[in-house]
Amino acid sequence: FRFKDSLAEELQSAELVISHAGAGSCLETLEKGKPLIVVINDKLMDNHQLELAKQLHRDGYVLYCNCSTLVETLQSMNLSALKPFPPGQPEKFASFLDKVFGLQ
């Protein structure tokens, strides 16, 4: 897709998502419980996408590759080895902020 306001409908019906490693894209896909292959852009300076992809891979949630290894990744992937992403717990962050600001 070039640009779309929301990919929620496509994510809901997807069996596999191949995406860049933007934090929003990764988290939205993982929260929907969809298997994810993250394709990093290794030409970015200070490549935070690579850091995120590596960590999510180490934790067992995604597969990652770059453009030149995507076909190989698709051919050798084992999606059943991926772990389900745990649901978010925004109340923990809210509680932390309350403590920091002396509201608790």
Q: How far is it, in rounded angstroms, from Cα 67 to Cα 1?
A: 16
Q: Nearest Cα to 10, choosing from 23, 71, 69, 25? A: 25
**Residue 69 maps to a domain:** yes
14-71 pLDDT, tens digit each: 999 999 988 999 999 999 999 999 999 877 767 788 889 999 999 999 999 999 999 9
> What's the pLDDT score for residue 45?
65
* Total domains present in the chain: 1
**Residue 102 maps to a domain:** no
Q: Nearest Cα to 82, choosing from 22, 29, 40? A: 29
Residue 33 sits at φ, ψ, to 5 deg, of 75, 25
**Residue 24 maps to a domain:** yes
**Residue 66 maps to a domain:** yes
Which CATH number goes with the domain that contains 61? 3.40.50.2000
65-101 pLDDT, tens digit each: 999 999 999 999 999 999 999 988 888 888 999 999 9
**Residue 104 maps to a domain:** no
Averaged pLDDT for residues 3-14: 89
Q: Is the CA virtual torsion 75, 79, 80, 82 positive or negative?
A: positive
**Residue 103 maps to a domain:** no
**Residue 45 maps to a domain:** yes
Q: Write out the residue range of the structural domain in which residue 29 sits.
A: 7-96
